[in-house]
Amino acid sequence: EAGVTQFPSHSVIEKGQTVTLRCDPISGHDNLYWYRRVMGKEIKFLLHFVKESKQDESGMPNNRFLAERTGGTYSTLKVQPAELEDSGVYFCASSQDLLGTSGWSSYEQYFGPGTRLTVT
Amino acid sequence: RKEVEQDPGPFNVPEGATVAFNCTYSNSASQSFFWYRQDCRKEPKLLMSVYSSGNEDGRFTAQLNRASQYISLLIRDSKLSDSATYLCVVTPGGAQKLVFGQGTRLTINP
């Protein structure tokens, strides 16, 4: 079974340009998450989709970031215009829902290999 | 204050040694607890979930102390392949997002 895939693996852009990152989750996973790691810092949550709906976007840094998941399959994360502090590794993760004794909860999150973004 | 605090290390230990990592979390409403492993320039991968009763998976033992908001990971008989960064991860109550610690870097020396 294919894992989470991300494209591109690397992107180098100039400040002020636009970049779009893509994530293809594991087939059948309704939950899709975006995370980011900037140099020297911990991995931080950006947002969470359940199918095509944004469940939690509390981690999005500002309105230069736009995430979409049309049709509830793959997702894109667009940064426009990019700033120097946007450099880092952007990870996507997906998970399926699990019905347990206390209701639905999310199962293990599987991460993609990440997109390394460098803004110069 | 960071939500999840870990000693960044690095820890350098000889092969075969036992090594322990600790982590503290600030949100008392945190619901789920994990240790993830991340190899250099790779994605994080789930190593094990951590339960209140403590749990073991082969050479790895995880413990959770909710009263002290403290999580630990013990690796016995360490192998060269255990060299990686170990990430302490929690989920806040009512949310599915993962909150990561900075990670503890471990190097096993031959």
- Predicted confidence band of residue A40 (pLDDT cuts 50, 70, 90): confident
Contacts of B105 in chain A (CB under 8 A): none
Check CB contact of B90 with chain A, cutoff 8 Å: no
| B79-105 pLDDT tens trace | 999 999 999 999 987 678 999 999 999
* A60 pLDDT higher than 90: yes
Three-class secondary structure assignment of chain A: CCCCEEECCEEEECCCCCEEEEEECCCCCCEEEEEEECCCCCCEEEEEEECCEEEECCCCCCCCEEEECHHHCCEEEEECCCCHHHCEEEEEEEECEEEECCEEEECCCEECCCEEEEEC
* A96 pLDDT higher than 90: no
* A105 pLDDT higher than 70: no
Mean pLDDT of the residues in chain A: 91
Closest partner CB to A48 (pick from B43, B87, B97): B97
Adjacent-strand bridge partners of B104: B86
| B13-70 pLDDT tens trace | 999 999 999 999 999 988 889 999 999 999 999 999 898 888 999 999 999 999 999 9
Between CA A11 and CA A87 the distance in angstroms is 10
A39-57 average pLDDT score: 94
From the list B81, B82, B31, the residue with the least C-alpha distance to B73 is B82
Contact predicate A96/A107, CB 8 Å? yes
Residues 61-90 of A with CB under 8 A from B: none
A3-12 average pLDDT score: 97
Closest partner CB to A108 (pick from B2, B4, B46): B46
pLDDT at A103: 52
pLDDT at A73: 93
Check CB contact of A96 with chain B, cutoff 8 Å: no
Reported in sequence order, the residue ranges of chain B that DSSP labels E, i.e. its strands, are 4-6, 11-14, 19-25, 32-38, 44-49, 55-57, 60-65, 70-75, 84-91, 99-100, 104-109
Of A43-47, A72-76, A89-93, A96-100, the least confident: A96-100
